[in-house]
Amino acid sequence: MADLLSAEAVAVARAVVTRWHAGELEAFEDLVEAYRADPDGTVRGVRLGAPVGIGIDLAAVTPWVLAAVSAAGGVLVEKAAEDAWSAGRRWLSRVWGRGGAPAAEEAEQATVVITVHLTGLGAAEPVARAVAEQVVRELGGRDDSPTA
């Protein structure tokens, strides 16, 4: 299976974390490395080598963002496989290339798929939905980040 956490996926994840979870940026690269090594273990809790006894999870949402962009990559691969010569190519170009926002129906479908994926991994539904919406917004090139 291809690495769904490509450089493009990592860039999308970094943009989501920067925009909505900036407090977790310091641990981002370590979490990407941990996620690549053990995706399931990472979403269930990474301690990033914290001293024994501290028991602090250094990042709470970034692993879910990584899982979401990984799932989005899988959705894009499946979508492209449906009709690689026409619709899939245009859809991938529009979403990943930010040539335009995906249609509302496509965006909602992607949000639902990612939400289901994250809840299946153990994320609470509100967290899963919020992260899914953030990733879909980032993929669609929407600039509607919350104001601090």
State the SS3 of 88-114.
HHHHHHHHHCCCCCCCHHHHHHHHHHH
Q: Number of structural domains, the chain? A: 1
pLDDT above 90 (res 76): no
144 in a structural domain? no
2 in a structural domain? no
Structural domain of residue 102, as residue ranges?
7-139
pLDDT above 70 (res 82): no
146 in a structural domain? no
pTM given for the model: 0.56
Report d(CA 141, CA 143) in Å as an integer.
6
- In the numeric block, the tokens 């959705």 are attached to 75
More confident residue, 47 or 128: 128
Mean pLDDT (whole number) for 132-138: 87
pLDDT digits (tens, 9 = 90+) for 25-41: 999 999 999 999 998 88
The DSSP output letter for 48 is T
Confidence tier at 105 by pLDDT (50, 70, 90): confident
Res 85: pLDDT: 38
43 in a structural domain? yes
